[in-house]
Every structure is written in structure tokens, then in C-alpha cells.
Structure 1
Amino acid sequence: MFLLEKLFGGKSSAKVNAIKMLPAAYAEMVGDAGHCQLKRLHPALGVFELHFSTANGEKYACQMTACVAGVDIVFAANNRSVLVSPPFSLAKLRPVFDIALADR
């Protein structure tokens, strides 16, 4: 069986770390106006969930997938996708939230 974890280079690879950076990127983007948590990260499958909460208590969850395209990562959610190229930084991860929050 083929595992995406091999494409991601293991659980501690730069691509997995880019996914783990998403909550920090969201915090930098919105400040105290909201919160984001990464849950159910499965690098072997390329799936995870982002759980958002706003300052007034609204909550939203988004199931996302990530796959490797060469050295880039393609994030997909809500029938949309975005390509993020290395080196991965908080600023480069911001477009992920455009698709994660699209149907909110």
C-alpha cells in the first residue's frame, strides 16, 4: 500500500511542519479576534481538521487535505485548492485560510 507519509518525508518533515504552522499563521493574521486549532492530523493520509473560534464564541471546523506536488503542498477544502511553495512561512500559509473559511 502506498502511504502519503513517504511523500511528506515522515512525521517531522518540513511539509508536515508547514501544516503544524497553520494555527500560528491564523493567530498572526487575526490577532485576538479568533483562535485556530489543528486536530486529527494524519500525515499518512494527508488529512487534518482546522477548528476555528471567534472572539464572540462562534465555532467552525473545516476538514482539509494536503498532498505533495513536487516540492510544493496543495491544500484543498470546500471544493477549492491552493498551492504553497517552500520555504514555508506564516505569510505563505495565509491563502489556506481563504479556502478553509470560504463556506463559513
Structure 2
Amino acid sequence: MSAAADDKDRLAQEFSGWKGLVEQLLGGPTMKSADRLGNGARAGGREVWSGPAAERFTGELRRLRTSLERLPGGFLATAQNLRETAKDLRSKEHH
């Protein structure tokens, strides 16, 4: 087997793993809570964090989430492209 093709397959596997990690991050409680926090964080019905720092954090979290939501699709497309390239390299070796 081609070392270059093997390298592309390994990299494709890494991209697939990163896709899963980003999806886990996006599904985690901190990201999900950004929409609910508003101007303050609540726990057990009482406010536990509010003010300018809470507002900055939730605002930044919302902006980051928007960017992060695009990553899994990009990771998947890149992994598929790498696998196709590895397949092509192996095909060329056998001809």
C-alpha cells in the first residue's frame, strides 16, 4: 500500500473524530444554555451569575457557536475528499 494513501486515510480519520468532538461541544450544557442565560445564569430558580461579565460571556458564546456549527460539515467533506484521494492513489498503484 502507498504510504501517501495511508497518511490520507489517517488524516481523514482524524477529521472524522474532530467532527464528533465539535458536535459534542455544541450539544453540551454550556452551549445549550447560552440562549437561556440572557443577562444572568440561573440554577435552581435563583440567579447565580449576572452583570456585564455574564453578558460578555453569553454574547461571545453565541458568536462562537455560530462559527462552530459550520465545522462538522467541513470536517466531513474534508474526510471524504481525503478518502477519495487515498482510493485514487491506491488505484494508480495497481495500474
| TM-score, normalised with respect to structure 1 | 0.26
With a CA cutoff of 8 Å and minimum separation of 6, indicate the structure with the bigger relative contact order.
2
Larger Rg: 2
